[in-house]
Amino acid sequence: MTTYKTLGTYSISLLHYSLFYEDERKLVFHQPIRVHKGIECEYYFAEEDGKQFMATMRKKLEDPKFIYEFHAQHEKDWEALMRFIEEIIQEQPTEKLGELFEQYWHLLQQSQPLGDCFITVDNVYMEGTRQWVEQRLTALGRADEINHAMTILSWPWKNFETLEQEIEFYALAKKFKGKDVPTTFAEFREKIDEDLLLAFDKHLERWCWIPHWYDNEPFDEQFLLDQLHKALKEDVDARYDDLYNKTAEIKKEAEALVKDLQPDEKMQELIDGLREFTYFRTALDLHTSRALYYARPFYEQIAKALGVTFYDLKLLVAEEIIDFLKGNKDTALIKGLLAARKDMVIDMYEGDEQTVLVGEAAEKLYKDVLAKLEKEDTGTADSLTGVGASPGVAEGPARVITSVQEVSTVQEGDVLVVPSTSIDFLVAMKKAVAIVTEVGGLTSHAAIVSRELGIPCVVNTQVACEKLQTGQQIKVDGKAGTVEVV
């Protein structure tokens, strides 16, 4: 009997997850099961596929050039995609939409290497470096520094765009120091000086796409204004300086650590590859957010041509959209397809054979098999242990969410408890005092963003969403990797 594991829930529609079908089969994920509920997807993979993929990636990563060449190819593919999107948006074509969408989809697929396999690649890099670092630090009498050392060694030496946005945001906040800043955007636009309003608008225009990812919404004016009020309660100058100098300080600390550890050439290559992978992993997510944000008018044009809403378009897969646009399928069928897929679609493969379940069949599989995977042993716990991914100690009420649709429930000062995070959780992460995840490593999205925000983070607890309950007061130690109910 096949044993399944889950990677969590993401805001990615049936349409956009179809980007990864071909790559997953190439990368030995032969038995994936995806549960789609609107624009959300729960992803399950066969345990045996996961083990085989780990073995495949270990072999690939024996070549120290692999990750650099992989990253360089992605940059070329992404630039080609952005050029195509720019041309489409400028020209606003009304003919041959099927052919154009087919070209767009091909370019988008090319820019999405590895799909959702990054967690496994993270594990391969970590297992290659952590044991060695632990041995070296123990020999030096510094065993308590292991988590921090891994954080420092995996941090890239160039800024992520999310960090650049934070730096520019605090530069913007400095301009508002001492000003009477209204809390509602309508009043803000009416009362704020023109120069300050222009700076605010430029920042929003430059960075609003960041949380978009596959199917999420961008930042809006009120969110940015709320963040501005939050920032003005801090020492804005000190926070700006901390963010501006962060990467340089981490690089300096990493160089000193490497000097103490004295890695041989092979281990140094692995450490450098880990740092490159961390940057690449986050850059890929950000590139996706930017591309799909700017491609949105094209999607809306396609939806209009098919007589559906922008939201409903994402309940179709790319091949169906192309066939409908080219006239290979009768568009009268769309209504029936959408009605069947409104509540739940389970999409699964056995090798190259695809099965799509809807209605009662989908509900039965989900209830009888998949839903039980994450709901065994659901008691409470006084403490959990994971991997400390961002140092610091913070305490607050737990906010357990398992879906991006629950992001709006997160309040300022909450401890965010989730299966994992992606860019579409960024709005909630900016409100949290600490983050706890069930899966992920030191190069995961939660780890990276927590370090940028300067808040504690513990990843890979495995059972946080089952063991913790919303409202419990919990304490997170991001250095020790512990979570305690207080």
Task: Provide the H-helix boundaries in 92-160.
Answer: 97-110, 118-139, 146-154
Same domain, 362 and 401: no
Domain that holds residue 475: 383-485
Q: Are 115 and 281 in contact (CB under 8 A)?
A: no
Q: Which residue type occupies 195?
A: D
Please check whether residue 129 lies inside any domain of the structure: no
Q: Of 176, 210, 243, which closes a domain?
A: 243
Same domain, 361 and 389: no
Same domain, 357 and 450: no
CA–CA distance, 418 with 436 (Å, rounded to integer): 6
Give the DSSP H/E element, type plus range, for residue 373: helix 371-373
Phi, psi angle pair for 152, to nearest 5°: -65, -40
CA–CA distance, 226 with 191 (Å, rounded to integer): 16
Say what the pTM is: 0.85
CA–CA distance, 17 with 315 (Å, rounded to integer): 10
Q: Are 78 and 287 in contact (CB under 8 A)?
A: yes
CA–CA distance, 29 with 20 (Å, rounded to integer): 10
Same domain, 365 and 406: no
CA–CA distance, 27 with 7 (Å, rounded to integer): 16
Among residues 249, 246, 208, which one has the least CA distance to residue 227? 208
Same domain, 13 and 114: yes
Please check whether residue 278 lies inside any domain of the structure: no
Please check whether residue 136 lies inside any domain of the structure: no
Q: Going residue by residue through the chain, which has 486 residues, state the pLDDT in tens, using 9 for 90 and above.
A: 567 776 666 677 888 877 776 666 555 556 778 888 877 787 777 777 777 777 777 777 778 788 888 889 999 999 999 999 999 999 988 899 999 999 999 999 888 875 545 656 666 777 778 889 999 999 999 988 888 898 889 888 889 899 999 999 999 999 999 999 999 999 999 999 999 999 999 999 999 999 887 777 888 999 999 999 999 999 999 999 999 999 999 999 999 999 999 999 989 988 998 898 888 888 888 999 999 999 999 999 999 999 999 989 988 989 999 999 999 999 899 998 888 888 888 887 766 677 888 888 888 888 877 766 654 443 356 889 988 889 899 999 999 998 777 888 999 999 999 988 888 888 899 999 999 998 888 888 899 899 888 899 999 888 898 889 999 999 999 988 899 999
CA–CA distance, 418 with 425 (Å, rounded to integer): 10
First to last CA, the chain: 41
Among residues 108, 470, 121, 24, which one has the least CA distance to residue 298? 108
**CB atoms inside a 10 Å sphere around CB 178:** 7
SS3 450: helix
Same domain, 317 and 388: no
Which residues fall within 8 angstroms of residue 356, CB to CB, at 6 or more apart? 345, 346, 347, 348
